[in-house]
Amino acid sequence: MLELSIRDVGIKGKKLRNKGLVTGTLRRKDGQIIPIFLSSNLLEQYIVITDYCKDLDVKFENEIIHVHIKEAQRHFTKNNVINMDFIEI
């Protein structure tokens, strides 16, 4: 299960990516848009196993949330995921 954490927007995304993290957003049902980050290694393993299954359960602040992958952006030369956007279902 992927675990999402709240991102400090004062830290640039490039610094987080250099540490092996993927940035993104989580759109909640109540309209909140929360900046998040998650582990790049776990995300790549998930993609290999499920081949971008669009609906999944993620852990966010000690609760399980059912989400839909809205968008995944990849680096154009390295082909690794650099940004993920999720929508709560």
Is pLDDT of 17 > 80? yes
34: β partners:
26
Residue that wins the pLDDT comparison between 20 and 43: 20
Amino acid residing at 1: M
Give the Cα separation of 36 and 25 in Å (integer).
Answer: 5
Look up the pTM and report it. 0.85
Question: Each residue of 22-62: pLDDT tens digit?
Answer: 999 999 999 999 999 998 888 877 777 766 667 888 999 99
59 burial class (0-12, 13-18, 19+ CB within 10 angstroms)? middle
